[in-house]
Structures are given as structure tokens and as C-alpha cells.
Amino acid sequence: MMDTISDRYRSFRCGRNFLATLVLVIVAWLLVNHYVCPFDPDDSHLNLLLSIEASVSVAFLLASQEKNDRLIRDTLDRILADAEEIKSEL
């Protein structure tokens, strides 16, 4: 189940929509905070939210990468086994 969640998160996180949404949220946060209603004078809450998002992203992206590494390793093992079988037939 974790692999499915991490793969979905990776595909969402690495897409253009996520980046555009993230930029819009940051710009909106800064504009509202500095010009409309100063609720975060030193932008520490924004920094905290971005740090949390980065920490969560690392966990999911590493899980997805480990799954990809396993698949590549399994594929290479099958190729080597096939090559050994062909070699023994010759």
C-alpha cells in the first residue's frame, strides 16, 4: 500500500500543477501577509509549512525510488539469468 501512495504522491509532486500551485500559494501568502493582513510578520509560519512539506516529500520520494530500484534489480537479475541460460546452450 505504501508503494502505491508513494507513487501517486511522486507523480503529483513532480508535476507542473504542483509547482504552479505551490508558487501561487507562496505568492498569495506573501501578498496577503505583507499588504492586507499581517498575520505572519517574519514569515516563520510559511517557512515551517514549507519545511514540513519538504520533509514529507523526502519520505514519499525515497519510498518510490526504493521501489523503482527493486524493479530494476529484479529485471537485471532476470536478464542475467537469461544470458547464462543462453550461454550454457551454446
Residue 4 CA to residue 13 CA, distance in Å, equals 14
CA end-to-end distance (rounded Å), the chain = 44
Q: Are 65 and 17 in contact (CB under 8 A)?
A: no
pLDDT digits (tens, 9 = 90+) for 1-39: 556 777 788 788 888 888 899 999 999 999 999 999 999
One-letter amino acid of 59: A
pLDDT digits (tens, 9 = 90+) for 39-67: 988 999 999 999 999 998 888 888 878 88
Greater confidence (90 vs 37) lies with 37
Residue 66 CA to residue 47 CA, distance in Å, equals 29
Q: Are 46 and 40 in contact (CB under 8 A)?
A: yes
pTM of the model as a whole: 0.65
